[in-house]
């Protein structure tokens, strides 16, 4: 090692220069002598003789080195200095951090923050599946690559050194600490979920939820974290779907939060769908950990537009589904996706409310100025991203089908002029609509179209929606069923946005009889008072815009 710069007691490096200092570690930029490559070394303020530290350090950093994730700063190695201090070697990230964006002249837009949250959730979930908890996630740990890709850094660094989250003097250090950590409880995946939601909250609001300007002591911050309600982001013009996700992500009781980073990421994707924002990919690596009970809470279930793509190490993640799977389905979490996600999450919304103005402009300011909302209609052109990309929904007509058994309403594209509104043999309201109904009812699967049927509880049990989907699968189609005609997808729980149906299950099937894709959906309301079965033929070539219309406007208006 050269005589210039600090002497770290780490062989094989030179030209060390300190570039950052925290209570838990000091960060150096160094040159690897063997390769000439510039890397970063974090030298932890800990000792090899600390009880349990060596085993945990070796386990966690070996796991992180093996985890090649598109949104995690690569760990190149780890070891021990000549004085017995642990160090971690990572790639150098030169694009700054998300914290810099908070202080900079160009705060992030609302859609930017949602996209960031989805990617960070995928990174967290992947680390958790490798049994590594971050423990101190904050905007400063979210780095930005020169290509603009967010990268999460410093997994396990702080928790190795500081066992008590409140053992700090600066109130800002507590900004993203989950309430359960205030009594010295070790960090958990649930506390990481809180920290990520808190970091995103800060980006939306411009300030942490519980730290006030001028705070000189940690005591008032601890009291606020423990007992104060979450300040309302709605007052800062953040749309309701986003406010709901932040509120659940930062619930004081860990049992009331999203139970995995994956669930938080899916909820953020669902908010993107509700707001008409292109859905961000979420790369998740590794096998899911067993949970104590199946997730049945409708607020944590995934939407059809939020299927997770398991990225191959060393490759970029591909966009998430509603997803026509391919034959080579990944075992990690969901089928590989296709092009543009459909608005399946809005299946029962009579309209999708888009929060306008400030949310799609810059965030991170402390303005209390309110903005209005606009409602999309079938013939309205709406901007769906902070860029100039626009989506025009095709003209549609509203069908309201009423009889003694119930009433349903749905908007159908005018181009889907071939339709049948004859009730089922049991008298239940139903509709079939397509560009060519004869082809739709055949087994070519090339004509786009939809079929809705609503059933009372004594006909189809709404408490078992998976069994209801099985009934769609089992329908005879000229001597075949969907499972023999199509490539099956993964079945996913989801929560539609809007009033009416509040929980459902979804499965996407692809290449049906060599034609297009089929989406099957079973849904009900919170009271489990009916079951609706929906089959959507996407068509070949796909009519995504037409499918968007029917799946974002369907509603059970009444049911006896």
**How many angstroms separate the CA atoms of 14 and 497, rounded?**
56
Enter the tokens of residue 257: 């939060």
158: part of which helix (H) or strand (E)? helix 157-161
Looking at 112, 136, 333, 517, which residue is catalytic? 136
Burial of 419 (0-12, 13-18, 19+ CB in 10 A): middle
Burial of 445 (0-12, 13-18, 19+ CB in 10 A): buried
The answer, yes or no, to whether the previous bond of 541 is cis (omega within 30 of 0) is: yes
How far apart (Å, rounded) are the C-alpha atoms in residues 119 and 150? Answer: 7
What would the two tokens of residue 56 be? 């945990």
Residues 6+ apart with CB under 8 A from 272: 111, 114, 115, 118, 278, 279, 280, 305
Could you give the C-alpha distances from 547 to 183, 309, 438, 511, in angstroms and in order? Answer: 51, 23, 18, 17
Sorted by sequence, the CB contacts under 8 Å of residue 167 that are 6+ apart come out as none
Measured CA to CA, the distance from residue 195 to residue 142 in angstroms comes to 12
Calpha distance 180→225 (Å, rounded): 10
> Which two tokens mark 460?
């189809």
Active site residue 136: yes
Pairwise CA distance, residues 186 & 203, whole Å? 26
Token output for 80: 């021990």
3-class secondary structure per residue, 400-437: EEEECCEEEEEEEECCCCEEECCCCCCCCCEEEEECCH
Looking only at the bridges linking them, the beta strands covering 373-375 and 353-355 are: antiparallel
Q: In sequence order, what are the beta bridge partners of 522? A: 505, 533
Strand (E) or helix (H) holding 142:
strand 142-144
402: phi then psi, degrees, rounded to nearest 5: -130, 135
Structure tokens at 46: 């800990």
What token pair was written down for 3? 């005589």
Tokens representing residue 477 in the block:
């189609």
Please return the burial class of 278, using the count of CB atoms within 10 Å of its CB with bins 0-12, 13-18 and 19+: middle
How many angstroms separate the Cα of 343 from the Cα of each of 133, 145, 314, 516?
A: 34, 31, 31, 18
Return all residues near 198 (Cβ < 8 A) that are at least 6 apart.
175, 176, 208, 209, 249, 250
395-407 burial, b at 16+ Cβ within 10 Å, e below that, comes to ebeebebeeebbb
Known catalytic residues? 136
């Amino acid at each position: 090692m050269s005589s210039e710069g600090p002497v770290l007691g780490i062989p094989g490096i030179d030209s060390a220069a300190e570039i950052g200092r925290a209570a838990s570690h000091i960060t150096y930029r160094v040159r690897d002598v063997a390769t000439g490559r510039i890397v970063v070394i974090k030298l932890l303020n800990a000792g090899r003789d600390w009880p349990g530290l060596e085993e945990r350090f070796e386990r966690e950093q070996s796991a992180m080195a093996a985890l090649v994730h598109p949104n995690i700063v690569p760990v190149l190695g780890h070891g021990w200095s000549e004085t017995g201090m642990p160090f971690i070697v990572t790639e150098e990230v030169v694009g700054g951090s998300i914290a810099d964006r908070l202080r900079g002249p160009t705060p992030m837009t609302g859609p930017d923050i949602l996209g960031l949250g989805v990617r960070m959730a995928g990174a967290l979930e992947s680390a958790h599946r490798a049994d590594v908890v971050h423990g101190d996630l904050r905007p400063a740990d979210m780095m930005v690559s020169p290509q603009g890709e967010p990268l999460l850094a410093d997994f396990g660094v702080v928790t190795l050194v500081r066992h008590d989250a409140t053992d700090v003097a600066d109130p800002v250090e507590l900004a993203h600490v989950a309430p359960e950590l205030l009594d010295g409880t070790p960090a958990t995946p649930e506390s990481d979920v809180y920290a990520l939601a808190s970091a995103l909250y800060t980006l939306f609001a411009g300030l942490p939820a519980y730290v006030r300007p001028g705070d000189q002591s940690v005591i008032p911050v601890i009291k606020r974290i423990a007992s104060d309600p979450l300040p309302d982001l709605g007052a800062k013009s953040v749309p309701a779907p986003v406010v709901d996700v932040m509120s659940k992500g930062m619930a004081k009781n860990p049992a009331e939060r999203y139970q995995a980073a994956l669930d938080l990421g899916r909820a953020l994707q669902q908010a993107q769908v509700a707001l008409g924002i292109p859905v961000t990919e979420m790369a998740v690596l590794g096998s899911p950990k067993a949970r104590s009970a199946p997730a049945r809470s409708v607020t944590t279930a995934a939407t059809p537009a939020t299927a997770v793509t398991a990225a191959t190490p060393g490759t970029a993640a591909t966009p998430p589904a509603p997803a026509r799977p391919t034959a080579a389905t990944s075992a990690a979490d969901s089928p590989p996706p296709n092009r543009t996600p459909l608005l399946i999450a809005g299946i029962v919304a009579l309209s999708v409310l888009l929060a306008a103005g400030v949310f799609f402009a810059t965030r991170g300011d402390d303005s209390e100025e309110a903005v209005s909302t606009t409602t999309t209609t079938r013939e309205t052109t709406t901007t769906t991203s902070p860029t100039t990309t626009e989506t025009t929904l095709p003209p549609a007509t509203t069908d309201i089908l009423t009889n003694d058994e119930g009433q349903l309403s749905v908007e159908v594209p005018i181009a889907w002029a071939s339709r049948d509104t004859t009730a089922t043999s049991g008298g239940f309201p139903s509709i079939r609509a397509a560009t060519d109904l004869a082809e739709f009812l055949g087994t070519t699967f090339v004509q786009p179209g939809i079929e809705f049927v609503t059933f009372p509880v004594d006909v189809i049990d709404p408490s078992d929606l998976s069994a209801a989907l099985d009934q769609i699968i089992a329908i005879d189609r000229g001597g075949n069923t969907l499972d023999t005609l199509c490539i099956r997808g993964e079945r996913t729980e989801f929560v539609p946005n809007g009033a009416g149906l509040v929980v459902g299950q979804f499965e996407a099937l692809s290449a049906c009889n060599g034609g297009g894709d089929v989406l099957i959906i079973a849904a009900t309301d919170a009271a489990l008072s009916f079951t609706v079965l929906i089959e959507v033929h996407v068509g070949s070539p796909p009519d995504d815009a037409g499918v968007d219309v029917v799946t974002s406007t369907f509603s059970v208006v009444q049911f006896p």
